[in-house]
Amino acid sequence: MTCSVAIISKDNSPLYVLAADMDKETELQYNFHSALDIVDEKSSNTANKNFDSFLGMLYATELYKIYGYMTNTKIKFILIVDSLNSALRENEVRNIFRSLHVEYTNYISNPFTIPNEPIFSKSFDKNIRNICKA
């Protein structure tokens, strides 16, 4: 698995977190959480202009590159990629986000889904893992 994913509700609480490295889950979660600062910044700056869901790289640390994506309903997708994985181009990141968005849309289209509640669906988890592996 190459990347960690967090899906975050419009109220900024985590709906789904997939950590590439379970040992570092806490650190990754802190990174996801901090990334929200920049998502806030970016989304408020572009509020009036043509809004692109893909927010680009939010920030980088020595170890990670952190990318963001926000849907029109303010659901945020955050992707943490190992910074050694320089093969991953921005376009590919964009594609990952798009697949994540599609997956989330499918999930939320289920009439039994309660929006803004943490996601425990196994099939959803499986699908997200597949996206991240690819």
Partner 1 sequence: MNFKPLITYSGDRTLFTALQSKIEQAIPQDEIEWKRSYGRGAAKNIKLEAGFKSMENCKTQLENYNTQNYEIIKDPVLHLYVCECNDVDNYKSSLKDEIESWLKQLAGYGITDWMILIVETIDMRKTSSKILPRQNVIDKVRIDVGSKNGDRCVSILNPLKFENKATESFRSMINRMRHLMLTAFNKNIMKFEDIIRARREERNKENWNFITYFLLQEQLAFVLESLTLHSDALVQYDELEAIFNLFIHNSIYGEKPKWMKCFEQPLNSLRGITICKKDLQERRQKIVDETITIVEFKNYIFERQSILLNAMQNQWGIAQRLFPFLFSTLREIDSLRLETYNGTLSCWQFVNCLEVLNLCDCVIGTENIIKCSQYTASIWNHAKDKLYELGKLCGLLPFPGITTTSEQLHIIAQLSSSIGEIPEFDEEEQKEKEIRRSHSPSRKIQKPGCERLREALGSKEAFQKLYLELCELAISTYKHVSRLRSARFVGRDLGNFYCALNEPQKAIVFYIDLLRELKSEKWNVLVSQTLLELSNCYKKLNDNLNYTKICATISCCVDLEILVRTFYFDELLKSLKAIQPILDNSDKDSNNFVQFEDHFKLIDLQLLNNSPIIQDSVISVELKVESNFPREILCEMLAISFEITEKLPEKYTAPNEFEMLNFSIHLDYKQDNSLNCASVVSENKGKVRRTSSGKPDNNTPIIRMNFKNCLRKENVLLHPGINSIVLSTKAFEVGTWCFKQISCIFQKLDFLSKDITIKNKSFEITTKPSSASLHFSDLVAGIDQKMKLIISGGSFNFPKDSTMLLKCSKGLRLSLGNISDYQRTLAIKLTDFKLFEERTIELSALCELPCRREDTMIDQKVLLNCPWSESDIQIPLKFLPLMTASCRLHSSGNKKFLQVIVKSLYEKELILTDALMKCLADGVVITDLNPTSQNNVKVMKNISVSYLYEIEVEPLKTTNELPVISIEFNLMYAEIDKPDIIKRYICPFDVTDYNTLFYIKIKISTEEICRVGSICHLNLNITKVCENQHNDLMYEILYDQSIWALYGRSAGVLSMADMKETVITLDVFPLTSGFLPLPNVRLSKYIANSKTKNDNPKLIPFAPTQMYNATKSLQIHVLNNVDQ
Q: Which residues in this chain contact partner 1 in the complex, by CB under 8 A? A: 10-14, 17, 25-26, 29-30, 33-34, 36-38, 41, 59-62, 83-84, 86, 116
Place of tokens 């376009």: 91
Read out DSSP for 36-100? HHHHHHHHHHTSSS---SEEEEEEE-SSEEEEEEE-TT--EEEEEEETT-TT--HHHHHHHHHHH
CB of 27 to partner 1, least distance (A): 10
**Least spacing, CB of residue 20 vs partner 1, in Å:** 15
Q: Are 119 and 15 in contact (CB under 8 A)?
A: yes
- Which residue number, 90 or 99, has a Cβ lying nearer to partner 1? 90
Instruction: Tell me how far, at minimum, the Cβ of 121 lies from partner 1, in Å.
Output: 18
**Among residues 60 and 134, whose Cβ is nearest to partner 1?**
60
Residue among 22 and 49 whose Cβ is closer to partner 1: 22
